[in-house]
Amino acid sequence: MPISEIQRAEWQAGIEERRKQIEVLREQSVAILHDLATAGYHGRTVSELGKPPYDRAFPIFVKHLRLGYPEEIRANMYGWFSDKAGRPYWPTLVEFYRNESSELAREALASAMSWHVVGKNVSVAIELAKDRKLGPSRQWFLYALRNKRDEKTKECLASLRDDPELQSMFALIDEAKQKGTK
C-alpha cells in the first residue's frame, strides 16, 4: 500500500526533527569529545568511541558526568561502563545511579552496572534492587542477581516478586528457567 503525501511529509518532518536533535547533541558534546580525542578516542558522538580498551575514557566520563549533560549524552556515557574495565568505578556508578534524575539515563546506567554484580558488589545491587524510589531500572539488578545462589539474594528476589515495576523482568527470568537457559 503506497503512503500518502501527508504520511510522506510527516515522515520527512520526523527525520528532519531527529537530525536537528542530533546536531544539538553534537554541539553539546564538544567539550567531552575534545577530552576523549586528547585521550585517543575519536568519534562524532559520545556513542562512537571505536574499539577498546576504554580504560582511559572512564575518568573523562566521570569528570563530564558531574557537569550536567542532557540525558541522551549521559545515557551514552553510562553505557560504556559495561566494559570490564569499568568495574573499578562501581562506587562512583552507585553514586550516579542513586542521584540520576532521568529514567532514560538511569536505565542505561543500571544496564551497564549489571555486568559488575559480583563479589562485594552483590550486596549493594540487592540494596539498589529493593529501593523503589529508583524506579523500573532496578530490573537490571534482578537480571544480574538471577543466578546467584546465596540466601540473601534468594530472599531479595522473593521479596520483589510482586513489585509491579519488576514484573517484566521476572517474566523473562521465569521464561529462561523454563527453557533451561540462563
Q: How many residues does the chain have?
A: 182
Q: Is residue 105 within 8 Å of residue 139, measured between CB atoms?
A: no
> What are the boundaries of each domain within the chain?
53-179
What span, in angstroms and rounded, lies between the C-alpha atoms of 37 and 67? 18
pTM for this prediction: 0.86
Q: Using alpha carbons, list the distances in angstroms from residue 83 to 4, 62, 148.
A: 45, 15, 21
Most confident of 12-21, 23-32, 40-49, 101-110: 101-110
Q: Give the single-character DSSP code of 118.
A: -
Q: pLDDT (tens digit, 9 = 90+) per residue, 35-75?
A: 999 999 998 889 888 777 889 999 999 999 999 899 999 99
| Cβ atoms within 10 Å, residue 24 | 12
Q: What is the pLDDT of residues 107-165, one digit of tens each?
A: 999 999 999 999 999 999 999 999 999 999 999 999 999 989 999 999 999 999 999 99
Q: Can you read off the three cell numbers belonging to residue 123? A: 550486596
